[in-house]
């Protein structure tokens, strides 16, 4: 029996906007409205809006919350000030990645985690099971709507003033109260807006009325891959570790957290394989699961709308991980040449460079 798919508060609006709906992480989500490529380019040149209400939100509150999260998450949460946010990992005892997430600090003993929809049960279960005295872990995913507005003109279109990346605060957009976070998954400037579930539709309509283009999960994936942001389930999983994935910078190895000892060992010995970014040198589009000659494997692949070539990420033996190394991807039985490149594959234009 197929499980019933969940819907975000914007489901009916997506349908009326002509979106093609697909199952994703247990939800019916828009993969595109009119065109993945046009939506992608809108985010790179102007502004696009994404319904990410399917993502999970977990509150971790109490006098021992910080100490608890410091022992659970890979990054150093003690460095997080009020109104700041931090990209971090939840790791298992073997150093595998249970999820990658953003931790927000509101104040002393007040934290909020935004996690991948597909890992909601795993992350909540993991934390709840280990919840110490003096700390409450609460899954608040169904209480909030979440909309990302991304692109070089995102802030201008919303009438928001500039703020440093990875900061957040309370705000208001056309009468809707929102938590504004300077975070995102596209490599562009932008915000993620969190509101009460019942306000999501009003928020979305207000954003679109300001000339922001609705964008689906298709563009979200091509945007994140161009800038080499890993996708949990593809590029990072419970079977991959942060060091091999190039996420060592998110791991404070001088503290204790699950898997820290194993990660220290991998770092010291050097990982046997690494997650690299590559660009196809022949006409072909790499896809997840394709073998790379020499023992590697593609973990994410697509067509880059900005570069108009096939691009991807994948694990290769360390000897093949240096930028400029030629790779051969097995594209359904046909060998196709690719080249390892420095991350990111595509560098978004910074406004001050224009």
Q: How far is the CB of 187 from another protein (least distance, A)?
A: 17
User: How many residues can be counted in the chain?
Assistant: 354
Cα 182 off chain centre by: 13
Q: Which residue has the tokens 């590559």?
A: 278
Instruction: Work out whether 337 is an interface residue with another protein (CB under 8 A).
Output: no
Question: Distance between alpha carbon 148 and the CA centroid of its chain, in Å?
Answer: 11
Instruction: Rule CB under 8 A: say whether 275 interacts with another protein.
Output: no
C-alpha 90/C-alpha 258 separation (Å) is 8
* CB-nearer residue toward another protein: 197 or 282: 282
288 lies in the site for another protein, by CB under 8 A: no
Distance separating alpha carbons of residues 101 and 89, to the nearest angstrom: 6
Residues from 6 through 65 that contact another protein (CB under 8 A): 31-32, 34-37
Give the distance between the most distant pair of CA atoms in the chain: 58
The answer to the question of residue 186 lying near another protein (CB under 8 A) is no
CB closer to another protein, 34 vs 330 = 34
Q: Is the Cβ–Cβ distance between 306 and 346 less than 8 Å?
A: yes
Among 108, 161, 164, 283, binds another protein (CB under 8 A): 283
Among 141, 183, 200, 222, binds another protein (CB under 8 A): 222
**Beta pairing partners, 298:** 314
> Hey, how many other C-beta atoms are within 10 angstroms of the C-beta on 211?
11
Nearer to another protein by C-beta: 217 or 292?
217
219/316 with CB nearer another protein: 219
Question: Is residue 152 helix, strand or coil?
Answer: coil
Whether the link from the prior residue into 344 is cis, omega within 30° of 0, is yes
Q: How far is the CB of 290 from another protein (least distance, A)?
A: 11
- By CB under 8 A, tell whether 108 contacts another protein: no
- Rounded to a whole number of angstroms, the minimum distance from the CB of residue 306 to another protein is 12
Does residue 284 touch another protein according to CB under 8 A?
yes
Under the binding rule (CB under 8 A), the answer on residue 90 touching another protein is no
Return d(Cα 335, Cα 293) in angstroms, integer: 9
Residues that bind another protein (CB under 8 A): 31-32, 34-37, 218, 221-222, 283-285, 287, 302-303, 305, 310, 332
């Amino acid at each position: 029996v197929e499980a019933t798919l969940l819907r975000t508060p914007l489901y009916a609006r997506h349908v009326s906007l002509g979106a093609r709906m697909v199952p994703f992480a247990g939800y019916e989500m828009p993969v595109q409205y009119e065109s993945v490529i046009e939506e992608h380019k809108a985010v790179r040149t102007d502004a696009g809006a994404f319904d990410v209400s399917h993502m999970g939100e977990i509150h971790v509150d109490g006098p021992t919350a910080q100490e608890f999260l410091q022992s659970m998450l890979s990054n150093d949460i003690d460095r997080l000030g009020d109104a700041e946010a931090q990209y971090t990992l939840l790791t298992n005892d073997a150093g595998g990645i249970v999820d990658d997430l953003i931790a927000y600090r509101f104040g002393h003993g007040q934290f909020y985690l935004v996690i991948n929809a597909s890992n909601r049960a795993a992350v909540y279960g993991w934390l709840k099971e280990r919840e110490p005295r003096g700390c409450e872990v609460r899954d608040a995913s169904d209480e909030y709507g979440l909309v990302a507005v991304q692109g070089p003109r995102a802030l201008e279109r919303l009438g928001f003033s500039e703020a440093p990346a990875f900061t957040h605060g309370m705000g208001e957009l056309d009468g809707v109260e929102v938590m504004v976070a300077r975070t995102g998954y596209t490599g562009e400037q932008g915000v993620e807006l969190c509101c009460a579930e019942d306000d999501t539709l009003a928020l979305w309509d207000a954003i679109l009325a300001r000339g922001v283009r609705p964008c689906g999960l298709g563009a979200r994936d091509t945007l994140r891959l161009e800038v080499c942001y890993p996708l949990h389930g593809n590029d990072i999983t419970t079977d991959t570790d942060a060091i091999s994935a190039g996420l060592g910078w998110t791991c404070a190895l001088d503290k204790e957290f699950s898997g820290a000892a194993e990660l220290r060992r991998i770092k010291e010995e050097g990982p046997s394989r690494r997650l690299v970014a590559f660009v196809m040198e022949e006409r072909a589009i790499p896809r997840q699961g394709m073998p790379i000659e020499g023992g590697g494997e593609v973990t994410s692949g697509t067509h880059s709308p900005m570069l108009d070539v096939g691009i991807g990420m994948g694990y290769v033996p360390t000897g093949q991980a240096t930028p400029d190394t030629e790779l051969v991807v097995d594209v359904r039985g046909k060998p196709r040449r690719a080249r390892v490149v420095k991350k990111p594959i595509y560098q978004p234009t910074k406004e001050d460079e224009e």
